[in-house]
Amino acid sequence: MTAQTLNTFHLIPRLERQAHEHKGHAGKVLMIGGAPGMAGAILLAGRAALHAGAGWVILDFVDERAISVLSDQPELMLRVAQVGDVAQIHPDVIAIGPGLGQGNLVKQLLSEALQSSALLVIDADALNLIATNPHLLSQLKARSSLSTVLTPHPGEAANLLKETTEQIQSNRELAIQKLVDLTGSIVVLKGQHTLLHAPEQSMQVCLRGNPGMGVGGMGDVLTGVTSAILAQGIRHGLNAYEAACLAVELHSVAADNLLNQGVGPIGLTPSEVLLEVRNLINIK
C-alpha cells in the first residue's frame, strides 16, 4: 500500500463557530496523566487542547501534589485522578497517556476509559500498558470502529508489536498496517513523515514537520490538539479519522511556520507550537 500525502486544511472551515454556539458545541475533553515527575506532559496536552479549541478541558492528575504547583493556565480544570470518576463528567473525548506512568491505579483508569463511550486518544504509557496486558488489548478491540486514536512513537509501536524500534522504522507502512490489524483503531505512527491509518481508510503520510520537533513534550501537544479537534468535530461534521489527520497536519505545519519565522529548529518548544496551531485554525 502506498500512503497518500496528507492534505486536510480544506476541513478547517467546518470548525468555524456559528453565532449561536456555546462551549458545548466545542466539546468536553478529559485528560488523564501526570504521574510524579511528569506533570508537565499532561499540562502541555491540556494547554494544547485549550488553544486548539476544546470547550472544556479537565485534567486528572495521577500525582495529586502536582495540582498545587500548576497554576499558569487557570482555564484548565484540575482534579486528582480517581477510579470511578472518568464517566461521571460525561466527556466527549478522553485522552490518556501523557506522563501517565504505570501501576495498578493507572491500569484501572485505562480500563475505565476503554469502557467509556467517549472518543479516546491513547498515548505514551497507556500504549505501553496495552502492549503488556492482554485484557486491556481486548477491551480496546471491543470498542466501536473509528472511536479510538492511538498515537505511538516508534518505540511505543515496537512495544505493541513486540518488535524492535529498528524493525518498525525499516518498514513504517507495514508496521502501521500491523498496528491497525492488532488494535482495530485509528493509528498515528509518529516520527519523521508521520503515517496515519485506520480500518477501511486510506493510509496517509504527513510530509511536513522538521527535526526541531524532536523535543520532550512535542507528542503531548499532538495529543492535546487531536483531542480538541475530535471534540469539536463531533458537532461540526468531522469524523474521527478526519480529525486525527487534521490534527497531525496542523501540528507539523505549525512547527514549520515557526521555523520560517526564525524560531528553531534548535530550541523550538512545544509551548510555541501550540500557539501557532491556534493561529492556523483561525486563518480564514
Ligand X SMILES: NC(=O)C1=CN([C@@H]2O[C@H](COP(=O)(O)OP(=O)(O)OC[C@H]3O[C@@H](n4cnc5c(N)ncnc54)[C@H](O)[C@@H]3O)[C@@H](O)[C@H]2O)[C@@H](O)CC1
Binding residues for AMP, by number, are 190-194, 219
Q: Rounded to whole angstroms, how far apart are CA atoms 270 and 248?
A: 14
- Binding string, residues 202-231; x marks residues near ligand X by CB under 6 A: --------------xx-xx-----------
Binding residues: 41, 99, 153, 190-194, 219-220
- Binding string, residues 105-144; x marks residues near ligand X by CB under 6 A: -------------------xx-------------------
Among 191, 224, 233, 264, interactor with ligand ADP by CB under 6 A = 191
Closest-CA residue to 193 (of 218, 178, 173): 173
Among 114, 146, 222, 225, interactor with ligand ADP by CB under 6 A = 222
DSSP letter for 6, please. Answer: P
155 binds ligand X (CB under 6 A): yes
Q: Are 62 and 39 in contact (CB under 8 A)?
A: no
Contacts of residue 44, defined as CB under 8 A and 6 or more positions apart, other chains included, come to 98, 217, 220, 221, 224, 270, 271, 274
Among 15, 187, 213, 243, interactor with ligand ADP by CB under 6 A = 213
| Phi-psi category of residue 46: left, alpha or beta, with phi > 0 → left and psi -120 to 50 → alpha | alpha
217 binds ligand ADP (CB under 6 A): yes
Query: Which strands make up the sheet holding 119-122, listed edge to edge?
Result: 4-5, 204-205, 195-197, 186-189, 148-150, 119-122, 93-96, 28-33, 56-61, 77-80
- Binding string, residues 80-99; x marks residues near ligand ADP by CB under 6 A: --------------------
Cell numbers 467509556 correspond to what residue? 116
Residue type for position 80: V
* Nearest distance, CB of residue 222 and ligand ADP, angstroms: 5
154 binds ligand X (CB under 6 A): yes
Closest-CA residue to 186 (of 196, 194, 195, 174): 196
210 binds ligand ADP (CB under 6 A): yes
Stretch that binds ligand ADP, among 52-60, 65-73, 89-97, 184-192 (CB under 6 A): 184-192
Residues in contact with ligand X by CB under 6 A are: 38, 40-41, 98-100, 124-125, 153-155, 165, 169, 191, 216-217, 219-220
